[in-house]
Chain A
């Protein structure tokens, strides 16, 4: 499939009193049409800068940002504004117009693009129905909950009939329950309207919930990218490992000798691998943590094990797990 977004050698440098800081440093990646693509990193990793370079709210210092086949930094201001209408964006703090009703908020992008008022209102009501808030049309944003505000923001984005939707920490100000419902809504509009979604977050759970592909940012650099499953089973970089372990918050506090993290997907859970290992090597294993996650509709499991003190047995166990096609990583310095 053809990429809808292609970023090549993107670099964004900020001048600070302490000198130059590269918030984005030689970043290249591409996103396919219809994908839900996650960009994850700890705060300060450069996520917000990167996403703002995708619609040129931030102008890159160098590099190319193709949306469709247009390189955005090359476009004149007027053309750029037209392209932006096809790239919707939602925010952590919703950024609704507080002095307008919900309905008028949804009408806003249509006002900008010159849609007739009557038609705009009719369309806006439809989009409010899509997000399940048609009876709040006459309310003001201040009267809504956080989740409802984000729904209005999503309806507002739909009103500009976008091809791409950028979500900048869109669920970070919401509680877990509301986060789930907003993510479900995003998934729905991805399927219903075929909108390509780019999700910026610091939470691995958000990525695992809706994304198909993911890029890990670390200090302005792209640490690694691939499918969400790949990242879950075999993170290649320290930055990715940290983010995955952050997802199970208990793991952070675990300390001890020779901890390993094993991951398994649906098929391998038929085999009693842990039990077999204990029987085979006649040494007990300590299970510190276990969880299964639903990643793109597939059950994926992870466990943190403490291996026996004896190095030879421990090494043998690791080899055995690998042979059984489990993802295995040693956790040297967790937390």
Chain B
């Protein structure tokens, strides 16, 4: 059974998984990063406290994160159809993945930015820095190591979620594992997909940690 067809399928599956994961992480950050910055900045301890904005974003983040991903996947099918044109396949899976990942990413960004030393922010303010300068040059720059660790965690989590999308025909390795391993009792195929998934996570995790360490200048 380990014919060319099977190998091509696994290679394509791996590719689809990577595609879904990276696209979802990218779009997740396009939404989640500004949201996380807003959360950190408008918090009552932030540089521009705004209870109203904070409460709204806080509520959205908690709301989305409290819906189990499998249910969200089905719940947003109309949205997916409107954006991608179909509700199955890797591109369609990106939509619910982004919706699930963005608030999660926002929370990680928020906590990374809140780790930045208040004293450094105060020093920047004393130099006459405005809100935008402080966000770009102080918060994001000083928190870069922590933010990169966040990206690594996000990629790992999204990769896991993407496999779940296999249940509704999402494509990728998760899809293969469910179709062959679960519906057709081909345990060996399932094991191979798991091995590839594990290897992918290890690889991405390792890369992310290496990069964040290299960029960290806080230790002598």
Contacts and interface: CB of A to CB of B under 8 A. Distances in A.
Decide if A and B are genuine partners: yes
Interface of A: 55, 57, 81-85, 87-89, 91, 93, 95-101, 108-109, 111-113, 140, 142-143, 153, 160, 166
Given A57-B122, A111-B137, A160 B218 contact: no
A172 to B, nearest CB: 13
A142 B145 CA distance: 15
B117 interface: yes
B120 A108 contact: no
In the A-B complex, list the 10 residue pairs whose CB atoms are closest, starting with the nearest.
Answer: A95-B123, A84-B128, A89-B126, A95-B119, A85-B128, A81-B128, A140-B217, A109-B127, A98-B218, A142-B220
Interface string B118-148: 0110111111111001000110011011000
A98 B126 contact: no
A112 B132 CA distance: 10
- B interface majority secondary structure: helix
Nearest to B127: A109
A30 B177 CA distance: 77
Nearest to B134: A112
B219 interface: yes
Nearest to B216: A99
Contacts of B133: 111-112
A284 to B, nearest CB: 54
A104 B72 CA distance: 46
Interface of B: 117, 119-120, 122-130, 133, 137-138, 141-142, 144-145, 215-220
A4 B93 CA distance: 64
Contact of A93 (B119, B126, B138): B119
A160 B127 contact: yes
A55 B128 CA distance: 10
B141 A97 contact: yes
A126 B128 CA distance: 22
B128 A142 contact: no
B125 A108 contact: no
Contact of A99 (B128, B130, B142, B220): B142
- The residue in B126, B137, B138, B220 that gathers the most chain A C-beta atoms within 10 A of its C-beta is B126
A57 B126 contact: yes
Contacts of B119: 91, 93, 95
A52 to B, nearest CB: 8
Nearest to B217: A140
Given A91-B119, A112-B133, A142-B219, A97 B125 contact: no
Contacts of B145: 99
Given A93-B119, A142-B217, A100 B141 contact: yes
Contact of B217 (A57, A99, A160): A99
A140 B141 CA distance: 14
A109 B138 CA distance: 12
Nearest to A162: B127
Contacts of B125: 57, 84
B142 A98 contact: yes
B117 A95 contact: yes
A93 B120 CA distance: 9
Given A142-B220, A143-B220, A99 B127 contact: no
11 contacts: A81-B129, A83-B128, A85-B127, A88-B126, A95-B117, A99-B144, A99-B215, A112-B133, A140-B220, A153-B123, A160-B127
Given A55-B126, A111-B137, 4 more contacts: A57-B125, A85-B128, A93-B119, A160-B128
Nearest to A160: B127
Contacts of A142: 217-220
B137 A95 contact: no
- The residue in B117, B124, B133, B217 that gathers the most chain A C-beta atoms within 10 A of its C-beta is B217
